[in-house]
Amino acid sequence: MTLKMLSIDASGKTAAAAVTENGALKSHGFADLGLTHSQTLLPLIDGVLKSAGVDISEIDEFAFTAGPGSFTGLRIGAALMMGLAGDRPCRAVSTLEALAYNMIGENCVVFPVMDARRSQVYTARFEAVDDKLIRFTDDCAMPLSELEAQVRASRGRQTVILGDGAYLFEGLRGELESLSIPQGESLYTQGLGVARAAEHVKPLGAEKIKLNYLRMPQAERQLKERTENESKHRL
């Protein structure tokens, strides 16, 4: 049975898409144009489909990064995938896991890192062993200092940090010879990584998909803080 899948990422500042057939890559695209995903995603998907010689009606399943990441980006990606999928199955994958799949074949400790602002990062610990990716921790938001301590603890083992938060560790890279940070597109989530992560996720109807923000949106945090402060003043 042939399974054609369209996979996308819109969780961060870059966008990516890929078409796979039974797990094999047919075409992929990547954009880092500084535009909103509402402008880049559809042309990117259209180009990937044309390059693969596949019509959207021929796609059997859809996969996309469901978090953590940019609240706006995640919502745009999810809405677009659900609109394209209709009643076809969708697979919602961890952004961090999809990112970690960039290191398949490198035999290293992998820390995908996304900048969560306020001196925090979204991260998880994986190990790439031959053609497998092994997860050791759940996705979480943690203080930057705590992750730095974990990276230091992996001293002596080949360790890779990637993602839009990798720049936060440039200084540490100079200190630890075993630490490396990829350059170019491999620093960011790729459509093929989304497809690989999707192989381990149960397909669901689009209406059952839930996004994983890890933290509430900034506007909600500010409203909560303001409400709590007003309550304290009334007391």
Q: Please, where in the chain does CATH 3.30.420.40 lie?
A: 4-94+190-219
Q: Which of 178, 23, 166, 3 is nearest to 100 (CA)?
A: 166
Nearest CA to 101 out of 80, 127, 123 is that of 127
Burial class (CB in 10 A: 0-12, 13-18, 19+), 106: middle
Task: Return the CATH superfamily for domain 4-94+190-219.
Answer: ATPase, nucleotide binding domain (3.30.420.40)
What's the rounded Cα separation, in Å, for the pair 178 and 167? 16
- pLDDT in 10s for each residue of the chain, 235 residues: 899 999 999 999 999 999 999 999 999 999 998 778 999 999 999 999 999 999 999 999 999 999 999 999 999 999 999 999 999 999 999 999 999 999 999 999 999 999 998 899 999 999 999 999 999 999 999 999 999 999 999 888 999 999 999 999 999 988 999 999 999 999 999 999 999 999 999 999 988 889 999 875 444 444 445 544 555 555 5
CATH 3.60.40.10 holds for 97-187: no
| Rg of the chain (C-alpha set) | 19
Q: Enumerate the CATH 3.30.420.200 domain ranges in the chain, comma separated.
A: 97-187
- What totals of helices (H) and strands (E) does the chain contain, helices first? 7, 12
Amino acid at 119: S
Is 48 strand, coil or helix? helix
